Amino acid sequence: MNEFTILATLATIHFIALMSPGPDFALVVQSTAKHGRKAGLAIATGLSAGILIHSTLSLTGVSYLVHNNPALYSAVQFLGGSYLLYLGLSSLKALLQTSTLDHTETVPDTQRPLSSANKPLTPFFRKGLMTNLLNPKALIFFVSLLSSIVPATMSLVGKVSAMALLWGLSIFWFSLLAYALSTKRVASKVEQAGPFIDGICALLFTAVGVSILWHLLPF
């Protein structure tokens, strides 16, 4: 295949993977529904930065070395599984606290959470970055995708184009998702479904985290 065909194939497979439900997708939906468009866009930027790092490490062979080193790969799995489990349990805790507050008559102003407009965006960016970067399934995906499609003889321009393409599609899709969920027509419905979305996302993060950690058990 010529480099244009390689890039087109890479873009198609990656975009299909982006649209499939998973921790990245769930995080954008949850954050946008709960904290608004700016938070969702910050999450999208963080996720895309993680994808850029994954693609860079895969194309330079670093991820391949990690994947084929049992000790290093187990460490990545442990960190990733633990972080996703932490996200899931934190989301469940927040959901329970919100449910408890909803059943109280009044909440003092000093105890009310900051509006999304006043919240710093750096934590959301960091959350998106770490969610993607520490996901061992993302590491496997990029190692498998890039090693099977991108030949070692591909030019430097071609490899840089591949990294830019993966990043560009990621920031486009996740930002589009955050924007669509925060439009006036959709935002009110998303807000009403907030507790349901939080619950589903929390269960997804918890399930993926437990699944990853479970496979590390020595039996």
Confidence of residue 116 (pLDDT cuts 50, 70, 90): low
In a domain, 7, yes or no: no
In a domain, 83, yes or no: yes
How many domains in the chain? 1
Range in 100-104, 151-155, 164-168 the model is least confident about: 100-104
Q: Which domain holds residue 151?
A: 24-103+120-214
The size of the chain, in residues, is 219
At 191 the pLDDT is: 72
CA dihedral 189→86→124→67, nearest 10 degrees, is -120
In a domain, 140, yes or no: yes
Average pLDDT, the chain: 86
At 111 the pLDDT is: 41
Give the residue-averaged pLDDT of 183-210.
Answer: 83
In a domain, 53, yes or no: yes
Residues 54 and 192: beta-carbon distance below 8 Å? no
Is the per-residue pLDDT at 145 higher than 50?
yes
HEC per residue, the chain: CCHHHHHHHHHHHHHHHHHCCCHHHHHHHHHHHHHCHHHHHHHHHHHHHHHHHHHHHHHCCHHHHHHCCHHHHHHHHHHHHHHHHHHHHHHHHHHHHHHHHHCCCCCCHHHCCCCHHHCCCHHHHHHHHHHHHCCHHHHHHHHHHHHHHCCCCCCHHHHHHHHHHHHHHHHHHHHHHHHHHCCHHHHHHHHHCHHHHHHHHHHHHHHHHHHHHHCCCCC
In a domain, 17, yes or no: no
At 217 the pLDDT is: 86
At 198 the pLDDT is: 83
Segment 15-38, tens digit of pLDDT:
999 988 889 999 999 999 888 899
Is the per-residue pLDDT at 107 higher than 70?
no
Confidence of residue 190 (pLDDT cuts 50, 70, 90): confident
In a domain, 194, yes or no: yes
Q: What is the pTM of this model?
A: 0.85
Angle between helices 194-214 and 70-102 (to 10 degrees): 150
Q: How many CB atoms lie within 10 A of CB 192?
A: 11
Give the residue-averaged pLDDT of 54-64.
Answer: 90
Is the per-residue pLDDT at 108 higher than 60?
no
In a domain, 15, yes or no: no
Residues 131 and 52: beta-carbon distance below 8 Å? no
In a domain, 10, yes or no: no
At 195 the pLDDT is: 79
